[in-house]
Amino acid sequence: MIRLGIIGFGFMGHEHANMMATLPEIDLVAVCDTVPEQLADAPEGVETYLSADELLEKADVDTVIISVPNDIHLEMVRKCAEAKKQILLEKPAAMTVAEFDKMVEIVKEAGVHMTVHQQRRWDVDYATMKEVLRRGLVGKPYIVKSQLYGFNGNMHDWHVYPEKGGGMLYDWGVHLIDQIMWMTEEKPVSVYAELKNVINANVDDYFKILFEYESGMTAEIELGTYYLTPKRAWFIGGTTGSAVIDGTFRAQGNTEGQIVRTRHLLRSVPGKLTMTSAGPTRSFGEPEPGLLYTEPLPDVHTVHRDFFVHYIAAREGREPDQVTLPQVRRVLEVMEAIRLSAATHQAVKI
pLDDT in tens, 109-141: 999 999 999 999 999 999 999 999 999 999 999
Task: Locate the domains of the chain by residue range.
Answer: 2-117, 121-303+332-349
Give the C-alpha separation, 86 to 115, whole Å: 9
Homologous superfamily assigned to 121-303+332-349:
Dihydrodipicolinate Reductase; domain 2 (3.30.360.10)
Cβ-contact 183, 238 below 8 angstroms: no
Per-residue model confidence as pLDDT tens digits over 157-198: 888 888 888 999 999 999 999 999 999 999 999 999 999 999
- Percent of the chain at pLDDT exceeding 90: 84
Which residues, 6+ apart, have CB-to-CB distance to 42 below 8 Å? 9, 17, 31, 48
Per-residue model confidence as pLDDT tens digits over 59-89: 999 999 999 999 999 999 999 999 999 999 9
pLDDT of residue 143: 98
pLDDT of residue 286: 79
The helix/strand/coil state of 5 is strand
Q: How far is CA 118 from CA 63, 179, 187, 215, in A?
A: 17, 9, 19, 27
Average pLDDT over residues 268-291: 67
Phi first, then psi, for residue 40 (nearest 5°) are -60, -30
pLDDT of residue 282: 62
Rounded to the nearest angstrom, the gap between the alpha carbon of residue 281 and the centroid of all alpha carbons in its chain is: 40
Cβ-contact 213, 112 below 8 angstroms: no
117-121, 289-293, 317-321: which has the minimum mean pLDDT?
Answer: 289-293
Give the C-alpha separation, 237 to 235, whole Å: 6
Q: Between 250 and 103, where is the model more confident?
A: 103
Average pLDDT over residues 323-332: 98
Give the C-alpha separation, 107 to 55, whole Å: 19
Categorize the per-residue pLDDT at 266 as very low, low, confident or very high, splitting at 50, 70 and 90: low
Q: Which CATH entry fits the domain spanning 2-117: 3.40.50.720, 3.40.50.150, 3.20.20.140, 2.60.120.10?
A: 3.40.50.720
pLDDT of residue 9: 98
Average predicted confidence (pLDDT) for the chain: 93
pLDDT of residue 189: 97
Q: Between 229 and 208, where is the model more confident?
A: 208
Average pLDDT over residues 239-243: 98
pLDDT of residue 236: 98
pLDDT of residue 252: 75
pLDDT of residue 29: 98
Q: Between 151 and 280, where is the model more confident?
A: 151
Given a cut of 80, whether residue 269 has pLDDT beyond it is no
Which residues, 6+ apart, have CB-to-CB distance to 253 below 8 Å? 123, 124, 125, 126, 127, 128, 232, 302
- Percent of the chain at pLDDT exceeding 70: 95
Pairing of strands 26-32, 2-7: parallel
- The total number of residues shown for the chain amounts to 350
Give the C-alpha separation, 105 to 97, whole Å: 12
Q: What is the pTM of this model?
A: 0.93
